[in-house]
Amino acid sequence: MAKINFGGVVENVATREEFTLEKAREVLKDEVIAVIGYGVQGPGQSLNLKDNGFNVIVGQRKGSSTWDKAVKDGWVPGKDLFEIEEACEKATIIQYLLSDAGQISQWPLVKKHLTPGKALYFSHGFGITYSDQTGIIPPKDVDVILIAPKGSGTSLRRLFVAGKGINSSYAIYQDATGRAKERVYALGIGVGSGYLFETDFKKEVFSDLTGERGVLMGAIAGIMEAQYNKLRSKGHSPSEAFNETVEELTQSLLPLVGENGMDWMYANTSTTAQRGALDWKNRFRDAVAPVFDELYDSVASGNEARITIEANRQPDYREKLSQELKEIRESEMWQTGATVRKLRPENG
């Protein structure tokens, strides 16, 4: 465990250099890791573990589209692909990677296979933190741990295949065996993390829900729509409005921020862009700060969890979700985006 200074704050971090893949394999050499769920995180984590030489099986509902996806990805029914209950029975470590709604519905089945000494692994603190709403309360004689990659399962897999890694947080909620720490480090390295930083289940879900609703998805989508609509209302063409709002951000500026930081990106733009960005940055920050106050409070109170759980319980939720996504997809802005992507040189 290394202590790294992040902007003046020292944090506990585990890296591949100090906790090597070889060490991870040694720690888990007698373990059977069952990845339950093959939706968002399941494919990337299970395939990375498999390619890294761990004993991995997948548990999924037979006959589902995700079962068929697992077969397509090379998992073999009866060998390393099983129904959820059979996978849980075989496992010493259960990676519970179903959706939050799926975890609630499958919990009674999974819980009965959490025999003493096993480990229950999450990639999201939702189920444990909001246990009063989810009903997910693990037995006291199992390890309860978390590895949360800071990106989609698709990104986790792509970066792994490219020889890179995505950073992950880790947490230990319950150490029943005395081995929870070495198990969580080994699993974090095994799934392809770049480095591991310490958190707890509550902080993970609070930051995750805030991030998804804020900068990562909700806020950025709303800001994009606001700017695009303003440009269109002032007579700018769809192509110009989209390129100035989305394309330049995602294809030019954000990669520079990721590589070198916001200060470097600012320093390598025109003086006009620099001055305007610096003059307007604080106005946007101050304008949205009350929204983030409201958002964080809603997450911390459990209100966002309640909304999510109640929505997923509606029998027509999938249909309503599809309609909402269709409205975004078929909007002028994102129809323009589809055309712009086709016109990129790599697609020509």
pTM metric for this prediction:
0.91
Domain count, the chain: 2
8-state DSSP, 347:
G
Question: For residue 122, which of 13, 207, 202 has the smallest C-alpha distance?
Answer: 202
pLDDT value, residue 28: 98
Q: CA-CA distance, 195 to 201, in Å (whole number)? A: 18
Same domain, 216 and 194: no
Distances (CA, A) of 260 to 256, 263, 264, 279: 6, 8, 6, 22
Q: What is the 3-state secondary structure (H, E, C) of 184-213?
A: HHHHHHHCCEEEEEECCHHHHHHHHHHHHH
pLDDT score for 10: 86
Domain boundary, last residue among 165, 198, 231: 198
Residues 226 and 166 in one domain: no
Dihedral sign for Cα atoms in the order 63, 68, 69, 74: positive
Instruction: Tell me the pLDDT tens digit for each residue of 23-54.
Output: 999 999 999 999 999 998 999 999 999 999 99
31 and 175 assigned to the same domain: yes
239-281 pLDDT, tens digit each = 999 999 999 999 999 999 999 999 999 998 899 999 999 999 9
**Domain span including residue 124:** 2-198
60: CATH = 3.40.50.720
Strand partners, 196: 14, 168
Number of CB atoms found within 10 A of residue 110's CB: 23
Tens-place pLDDT, residues 289-343: 999 999 999 999 999 999 999 999 999 999 999 999 999 999 999 999 999 999 9
Tens of pLDDT along 75-132? Answer: 999 999 999 999 999 999 999 999 999 999 999 999 999 999 999 999 999 999 999 9
Alpha carbons 81 and 78: distance in angstroms, whole number:
6
**Cβ contacts of residue 229 below 8 Å, gap of 6+?**
333
When pLDDT is cut at 50, 70 and 90, the band that residue 347 belongs to is low
Residues 6+ apart with CB under 8 A from 232: 238, 241, 332
Together in a domain, 257 and 185? no
Would 204 be classed as within a structural domain? Answer: no
Task: Out of 118, 124, 183, 232, pick the active-site residue.
Answer: 124
Please tell me whether residues 164 and 305 are part of one structural domain.
Answer: no
Together in a domain, 223 and 157: no
236 tagged catalytic: no
Three-state secondary structure call for residue 77 = strand
Looking at the fold, whether 167 and 245 belong to one and the same domain comes out as no
Give domain status of residue 206, yes or no: no
Dihedral-angle region of residue 193 (phi above 0 means left; psi in -120 to 50 means alpha; beta otherwise)? beta
Q: Is the pLDDT of residue 348 over 60?
A: no
